[in-house]
Chains A and B, each alone.
Chain A
Amino acid sequence: MTLDFGSDTQGLRLDDVRIRLGERLLVALDARVGRGETLTVMGPSGSGKSTLLAFLGGFLDPAFTASGRITVDGVELTALPAEQRHAGILFQDPLLFPHLSVVDNIAIAIPEDIRGRRQRRSLAQAALADADLAEFGDRDPDTLSGGQKARVALQRVLASRPRILLLDEPFSKLDAHLREQTRQLVFDRARRAGLPVVLVTHDEDDARAAGGQVHRVGLP
């Protein structure tokens, strides 16, 4: 893993990003996050760290004003609507779609250019198998355990072939043992997929496990 701050356009670039609420400056950030690397943003609740994720994802509340540029692999995202950014997101709850079966939760994420019901379904099934959940495809998502749900949520976001991965305190609701496991899995898969990751957290362990740059916001 090498950090390359040169002319390389690979990965996520945040140029002069400033987010304000009225007059108050919440976030000021310049960063390069290479493929497979993680930028950890830390700060107390209410510090605006989730606002940064909203800005990156394309759903910033109109109450905030933001400036700066977001580019991924040379493509500028700043003006794109959320659904065209391919910014996958994981929240602290897995938020599986309750009306769809487990396998359909993943199938719905597969990009449209992959055609044919059977092909989409077999891709989804393969993603489930990759998470050791091959048998669970037809299950009601609500019958899975917390750890299983977290794995489905991860496979779902990966199946959408995102350009970047946004993590909004995704491990904070898991118990200690599961947290460690899930953390490993998420960073491992993100690295394997070569995704730039932005992690927002208030847990120092998350930052250590991520092992990348740390940016602190909301400090006095």
Chain B
Amino acid sequence: MTGGVRLARLAPPLTLLTLLGPLAFGLAGTALPAFGYLPDLGGTQLTTAHFAELAAVPGIWHSAQLAVLVGLVTTLVSLGAVAGFVASDLGSAGFARMRRMISPLLSVPHAAAAFGLAFLIAPSGMIMRLVSPWLTGLDRPPDLLIVNDPMALSMMAGLIVKEIPFLFLVTLAALPQTRHAETMRLGRSLGYGRIASFTYLLWPPLYRQVRLAVFAVVAYATSVVDVALILGPHLPPTLPVRLIDWMNDPDLEARFLASAGAILQLGATLVALIAWVGLEKAGAVLVRHSRAAGLRFRRDGVIRNGARAAMLASSAIVFGGIAVLALWSVSGLWQFPDALPSSFTLKSWMQALPRLEGPLATTLAVAGLSTLIALALTILCLEREYETGRGRGGGALLLIYLPLIVPQISFMFGLQVLSIWLGIDASFPALVLAHLVFVLPYVFLSLSDPWRAHDRRHDLIAAGLGMNRTRTLVRIRLPMLTRAILTALAVGFSVSVGQYLPTVLIGAGRLTTITTEAVALAAGGNRRVIGVYAFLQTLLPFFAFAIATGLPGLVFRNRRGLRV
């Protein structure tokens, strides 16, 4: 078959270049300084001295271990909660309710969720206020280290409440490809409990489909910076935070150390991933043994309730946290242990607004542009896939996931070095490209399922009517997929809004967004200003999703066949 959309031929190579180019150049740009090569700073000889220097930094191994631990615990708890909940409630009314409640959480930026959690659980936070003084007898905040605790428990909690919605939605997307209702019924008719039926029969094929997303969670949680800055331990912080400190050190020599550290981070994430594969194997052995023994696990109430509680807590914490952020942003005097401020004022907003303008414009422009580019590339790639019938294999999926599995910090460092060398650091196009690396995979993952599920007989009919591919795309396929396209746009937009590290490194402090400004406030601890920034940070993606949900209903209000 000849014909087809011409531009679509360019899309797959261009997409691969967009995803893998920054990855390859970034890793190289990190590795060379790590081994001493950075001519601008006088490094012309390859040496391992910087690794030796790194090894001598006090507490460095502790920081690295902590990063690995955070990655594994976060993933284990969130995946366990999601799997347990799907096993125990799949098909019930509660499941549908949870689905509606959890979905919006995906759009909440990590930093906003982390701030929300901090505002809830801090010694002077909302929870302590609600139980004081009548229960605790306290009229002053207790002297406890809850946020920034040295074991990183609050940091893990902040990550878990955000990874649960992600893994839940990924699992939901994979479910239709299994015969889940029949499978669960079959398992239970053989006398197995819900958890056992799910684990023995449904989980293996399901997990195979969500595995890359799980890897992305492991990698993200081991290398996250913004959540660690807000909730993570201080003495010593997790490895990624220390890298950022060195990167921002006025002494430029520290860049060699930072680069060496970024390579260590790559190793730490790799160790976490290998450990995770080990956990997978151990889990498989365990499942095989209990299945071979025919264990029914009929009394699985504890697990089921635990999973439900974790899911509920995840949404309660994020929603509650956002509410408290909003409250602080408009609070006047608010003394401990009052549960509500004694007065409300818009002063914090009025003071912040003039300074918000620039970051807000940058946020919207970068998010808008990177998302549109990602959408165009995605549509053309999927069109090419439709025309050739190729490119939907596991290899292609791995390439899409790769920028989400390699730790951001390890290649963003190198990209920053590269952008300075090219003289394009802190430039708007460079920032858009940096965001595109992370926006593109999510836009692609979001649009590819509905695209592939679209009844291709519509395209065949259009061809039979004499319409060429471009016309079919514009007149038939894209309008019919309006809803999915707008959702993909909203996903891309919120991913871009939430990006902290690429913005800090490529924007180099001169291009700032709402997110970088919000995270920068973490150290200051002014709750009213943090409330303003973090709440605004939540609002932007929220509006994007509101438009994506509302607009098709408006445009197609007379078209029953396009309603959901």
Contacts and interface: CB of A to CB of B under 8 A. Distances in A.
Nearest to A165: B464
A141 B561 contact: yes
Give the secondary structure class of B's interface. Answer: helix
B468 A83 contact: yes
Nearest to A80: B2
A157 to B, nearest CB: 7
B476 interface: yes
B556 interface: yes
Interface stretch (B88-96, B116-124, B169-177, B452-460): B452-460
A60 B389 CA distance: 11
A93 interface: yes
A81 interface: yes
B8 to A, nearest CB: 14
Contact of B460 (A59, A96, A143): A59
A88 B461 CA distance: 7
A142 interface: yes
Interface in B2-19: 2-4
Nearest to A111: B466
Given A59-B460, A59-B463, A83-B466, A140 B475 contact: no
Interface in B376-418: 388-389
Contact of A99 (B1, B463, B466, B480): B480
Contact of A89 (B464, B479, B482, B556): B464
A82 B3 contact: yes
Given A58-B1, A59-B1, A95 B457 contact: yes
A88 B3 CA distance: 18
A81 B1 contact: yes
Q: Which of B2, B466, B476, B480 has the most CB of A within 10 A?
A: B466
A156 B561 contact: no
Contacts of A142: 559-561
A97 interface: yes
Given A98-B562, A99-B556, A91 B457 contact: yes
Contacts of B560: 98, 140, 142-143
A190 B331 CA distance: 75
Interface string A138-166: 00111100000000000011001010001
Contacts of B526: none
A86 interface: yes
B121 to A, nearest CB: 48
Contact of A57 (B389, B463, B468): B463
Nearest to A62: B389
Nearest to B479: A99
A23 interface: no
Contacts of A95: 455, 457-458, 461
Contacts of A156: 465
B351 interface: no
Interface string B403-438: 000000000000000000000000000000000000
A87 interface: yes
A8 interface: no
Nearest to A168: B457
Given A91-B461, A95-B455, A108-B475, 13 more contacts: A58-B463, A59-B463, A61-B389, A81-B4, A83-B468, A88-B465, A97-B476, A97-B480, A99-B561, A109-B465, A140-B561, A142-B560, A143-B560
26 contacts: A57-B460, A58-B1, A60-B1, A81-B4, A81-B468, A82-B463, A83-B3, A83-B463, A83-B467, A85-B464, A86-B464, A86-B466, A88-B465, A89-B460, A89-B464, A91-B460, A91-B461, A97-B476, A97-B479, A98-B561, A109-B466, A140-B558, A142-B560, A142-B561, A143-B560, A160-B465
The 5 closest A-B pairs by CB, nearest first: A98-B561, A82-B463, A81-B3, A142-B561, A142-B560
